[in-house]
Structure 1
Amino acid sequence: MATPDFLPTSMSTLSEVMELLADRGFDHELTFSPEGKLVGNNKAYVPEDLLLIRTYRFEGISDPSDNAALYLFTDKEENIGFVVDIYGRESNFPASFADFLRNVPSI
């Protein structure tokens, strides 16, 4: 599957990308549950249920250690959802989230 042409390819800030995606109707945030699943779109997903279609990485202008990632996923019904993670030492997710991501197929 090729990268969908509706996705931004070069944006400078997290807020710009999220605003553009929301304008296009992609505003479904997924959350990582204590059970180790991504939850959203009225579903609980395991890695095999999803396809990672794009990862955006952002670095703070004044502090290079201020890092965030925006992950865009699609499910088998072509619903698109996103996860925002402050990654690195300050990650807002447990280590099991990284394991989850490694097991999600990507395009």
Structure 2
Amino acid sequence: MYDYTTLSEAISGLQERGYTYDFNLRPDCLHCPELDRQLSPDEFTITETYRFEGMSNPDDNAVVYGIASNDGLKGTFVDAYGTYADTVSEQMIQKLNFRR
């Protein structure tokens, strides 16, 4: 694991190591808009996780995930500490370790 001070440093570091795609969360998958590709929870692995906490504002809390698909697609997913936890499937909650 690497040590990053900011969210943007973590994203840049991951991109430098080949995590080039951005993923968005959907209720039952991660979606890569650039490729119009969806990954269900059993089609990807979380390879790295970095958490950041805002010093003065809890809304600044975030986590960036390094994501690798089973067939080698690599990218990042950024979440504001479980903001989406009530709108995703139980499988996605378990995969991303959201807390309700």
The two structures have a TM-score, normalised by structure 2, of 0.75
Aligned residues: 93
- How far residue 22 of structure 1 moved from its aligned partner, in angstroms, is 2.5
Which whole-Å deviations, capped at 9, do the CAs of 1:14-48 have from their partners, x for residues lacking one? 011112222334231111225x2111144211100
Q: Which residue identity does 1:26 align to in structure 2?
A: Y
Task: Note closer, same or farther for the CA distance 1:86–1:14 as it changes in structure 2 (3 Å cut).
Answer: same
The match for 1:100 among 84, 92, 96 is 92
Higher helix proportion, which one? 2
In 2, Cα distance between the equivalents of 1:19 and 1:97?
Answer: 29
Q: Tell me which of 21, 26, 35 is aligned to 2:14.
A: 21
Q: Unaligned stretches of 5+ in structure 2? A: none
| Percent of paired sites with the same residue | 29
Q: Work out the CA distance in 1 between the residues paired with 2:78 and 2:36.
A: 18
> Per-residue CA shift, 1:45-94, capped at 9, x if unaligned?
11000111111100113335531010111111211111101125xx1x24
Alignment of 1:1-107 (within 5 A): 9-34=2-27, 36-40=28-32, 41-64=35-58, 66-88=60-82, 91=83, 93-95=84-86, 96=88, 99-103=91-95
1:4 alignment counterpart: none
Q: Which amino acid aligns with 1:38?
A: L
Please identify runs of 4+ aligned residues in structure 1 that moved more than 6 A: none
CA RMSD for the aligned pairs? 2.3
Give the gaps of 5 or more residues in structure 1.
1-7
Asked if structure 2 preserves the Cα contact closer than 8 Å seen for 1:32 and 1:97, the reply is no
